[in-house]
Chains A and B, each alone.
Chain A
Amino acid sequence: KAGVTQTPRYLIKTRGQQVTLSCSPISGHRSVSWYQQTPGQGLQFLFEYFSETQRNKGNFPGRFSGRQFSNSRSEMNVSTLELGDSALYLCASSLTGLDTEAFFGQGTRLTVV
């Protein structure tokens, strides 16, 4: 079956702009989580959605937001981009969010210039 699909794979934006990233989970999975990966910081949890509801949020500023649609696809939005937002953004899906394994997409590489 198809894995977790993230689009686009690469993005270049300028400071002050906003960006929207998309994640399509594995079919049947209802939980979608987002992580920011940067060198030296590892993966930092952004938020988790289940059935269109945000259940958990990490320690990121309000410029980072997300949503989930009825088909479990999720988007995350970053407004007023800063240079420090340059990172690989990973999406993970699982059946319930409480599962023993999450499946990750290949990520979206965001570069802010």
Chain B
Amino acid sequence: AQSVSQHNHHVILSEAASLELGCNYSYGGTVNLFWYVQYPGQHLQLLLKYFSGDPLVKGIKGFEAEFIKSKFSFNLRKPSVQWSDTAEYFCAVKGPGTYKYIFGTGTRLKVLA
């Protein structure tokens, strides 16, 4: 079955700490991978995406993610978090030629000032 697993449901960090959020997926065939972020009271927005090529993808606001095909993983990283990164983060997959995203259950990140 197609699925996405996010291992950390809640993460609390102090400002300037490094962040890594895990994401593993199960999907037969080629996938496109995404990280979306939902700031409090705001709409879901795209942080970064991977389709092909360099497995290290850079996104907005200093975020990056690495696609490791052998591990079916697409972990999100940021070297130094800020209070404004407090949000919920969703990993998602989408097969080429398909119309729907398969989302993970999300990780709530709280950054303490």
Binding site for B on A (CB under 8 A): 3-4, 31, 33, 35, 40-45, 48, 50, 55-56, 58, 90, 92, 97-98, 100-102, 104-107
Contact = CB atoms under 8 A, between A and B. Distances in A.
A44 B101 CA distance: 9
B105 A31 contact: no
Contacts of B49: 100-101
B53 interface: no
Interface residues of B, number: 26
**Do most interface residues of chain B lie in helix, strand or loop, or is the interface mixed?**
loop
The 6 closest A-B pairs by CB, nearest first: A42-B105, A104-B44, A43-B103, A45-B100, A48-B99, A97-B99
Interface in B20-72: 32, 36, 41-46, 49, 51
A97 B32 CA distance: 14
B43 A100 contact: no
Contacts, number: 58
A107 B45 CA distance: 13
B112 interface: no
Contacts of B103: 35, 42-44
Given A42-B105, A42-B106, A100-B51, A56 B100 contact: yes
Contacts of B104: 42
Given A41-B105, A42-B103, 17 more contacts: A33-B101, A43-B90, A43-B92, A45-B101, A45-B102, A48-B99, A56-B98, A56-B100, A90-B43, A90-B44, A92-B44, A98-B98, A104-B36, A104-B44, A105-B43, A106-B41, A107-B43
User: Among B36, B43, B90, which residue has the most Cβ atoms of chain A within 10 A?
Assistant: B43
Contacts of A97: 99
Given A42-B90, A42-B106, A43-B90, A104 B43 contact: yes
Given A40-B105, A41-B105, A42-B104, A101 B99 contact: no
